[in-house]
Amino acid sequence: MEAFGIFSALKNAVTPDRITIIKTVTDSGTPDFSKTKQMLENSADTVCDYIEKLADETEGHNNNGFCGNPKVLKFDNSFIEKLCEEFKCSESMSIQLKQFIRYMDASGEHETLLKKLDGLTQKGLLPAPDRRHGKQALTILMQI
pLDDT score at 68: 42
**51, pLDDT greater than 80:** yes
Q: Does position 64 have pLDDT exceeding 80, yes or no?
A: no
DSSP secondary structure of 17-58: GG----------SSS--HHHHHHHHHHHHHHHHHHHHHHHHH
CA separation (Å) from 79 to 31, 74, 86? 55, 9, 11
Q: Residue 60: its pLDDT value, please?
A: 56
